[in-house]
Amino acid sequence: MTTPTSDIDESAPRIESKSEMVEWIEAGCTPKADWKIGTEHEKFGFIRDGLRPLPYDGDVSIKAMLEGLRDRFGWEPIEEGGHLIGLKKDGASVSLEPGGQFELSGAPLEHIHQTCNEVGDHLREVREIAEPLGIAFLGLGSSPLWSMEETPMMPKGRYRIMRDYMQKVGRLGREMMFRTCTVQTNLDFASEADMVKKMRVSLALQPLGTALFANSPFTEGRPNGFLSYRSHIWTDTDPDRSGMLPFMFEEGAGFERYVDYALDVPMYFVRRGGVYLDASGLSFRDFLDGKLPILPGEKPAIDDFVDHLSTIFPEVRLKRFLEMRGSDSGPWSRLCAFSAFWTGILYDEGALDAAWEIVKDWTAPEREAIRQSVRTLGLKTPMPDGRSMRQVALDVLAISRDGLKARAKLNTAGDNESGFLSELDEIAASGLTPADRLLQLYHGEWGQRVDPVFETLAY
């Protein structure tokens, strides 16, 4: 989740009508020449000796990692309540998820070559701080070994509010908070119509992203029955704020319809005076009317709305850009492949049209059935036209490759971005997800032990 770098300005103008929120999102419309790519990824930190999770505080800790990055590499600190909780530099940030998952939110960049360099530079910096401390980081979609009781909680005010509320709305919300890691890419749109088309294509294809990047088959030292346990967790976290957004495929879908959806999602918190006030379950519509019980008579500023948008977790999220949210985290190569995959589909008009032709006739129940099936069946998931997900993957990867070639964004060697898809081509050709490969190792040379994954997938 985004880490705010400043407090709410209590003297800021207040929202007087829904149109102001619609206009705020609409201001994200960006000419194609200025489209950027932002990549985010989370990873599990662990102590090599004993494979223990990293606590927040201490000589070997999350805090020590943040201090090391700050002091050696010039990152600026982000603090909350006297705690160092994040870093920022050059448009990028490092933040903490509830269970100590270490997240890089990359700067908006022009092409995947830059994205991959950024991820590589970040991981190099992390290793330089981590190795002398006996720390390493794991690229996996869910925590493979530690129980909830063993997993620490980071000292951020919103997380206590969220943790307590999660018990009221789903069985697996705490699992999501403390024991999952994802990779995301943030992509621009030119207009409302462009946003709607990209939203529809990317929502329909999120389960394909889940399959290609499925990488969370272990929980507490054994197989959990899923290829993407992270994806399974999201099916029982909080139905009010997650899922496939069927309304975005209906007539009238657009910025205003998404704002209406957001306003009906129950709140988590309000930031005031450096403190997170518990607003869990309360209505943002009441806030607009000055009737929020915890702030009677007060209306929200636009930053309150931006905070609220950050607490909504559909498979594709709309802010002033679109966030692809349906995939497990993984090794460095697949982080680059993830952004390349979606960029190729969404940033070339011909590719976007071709992808729409594949998904346009799928119904809402069919899209949901695919989402439910892919967490266990992966690339074997049956599709509405009778094919398998693997066959669709081959077609969509070809579309993405053509889109990347058409963009013609070259590195210094003259290569375009399509080479970043090679690992995904191999996955689709084999029909085996990364999780299938891990399970083969578990039942084979690992001797039904999960510990080796900490070497296999360490950055």
The CA distance from 450 to 457, in Å, is: 11
pLDDT of residue 7: 75
pLDDT at residue 27 greater than cutoff 60: yes
18-265+312-456 under CATH 3.30.590.20, yes or no? yes
pLDDT of residue 2: 54
373 three-state secondary structure:
helix
Exposed / middle / buried, residue 79 (Cβ in 10 Å: 0-12, 13-18, 19+):
exposed
The residue-averaged pLDDT of 292-298 equals 97
The CA distance from 86 to 103, in Å, is: 9
Q: Which residues of 308-344 are buried (b: 16+ CB within 10 A; e: fewer)?
A: bbbbbbbbbbbbbbbbbbbbbbbbeebbbbbbbbbbb
**pTM of full prediction above 0.85:** yes
Please state whether beta strands 83-89 and 52-53 pair in parallel, antiparallel, or not at all (unpaired): unpaired
The Cβ of residue 252 has, within 10 Å, a number of other Cβ atoms equal to: 8
What angle, rounded to 10 degrees, do the helices at 389-407 and 364-377 form? 100
Sequence-separated (6 or more) residues with CB below 8 Å from residue 345: 201, 202, 205, 351, 352, 355, 396, 399, 400, 403
Q: What percent of the chain lies above the pLDDT cut of 90?
A: 97
Residue 455: pLDDT band by 50, 70, 90 thresholds?
A: very high
Structure tokens at 459: 């950055």
The CA distance from 30 to 188, in Å, is: 7
The residue-averaged pLDDT of 427-447 equals 98
Residue 6: pLDDT band by 50, 70, 90 thresholds?
A: low
Structure tokens at 155: 């000292």
Residue type, 28: G
The residue-averaged pLDDT of 152-169 equals 97
pLDDT at residue 250 greater than cutoff 90: yes
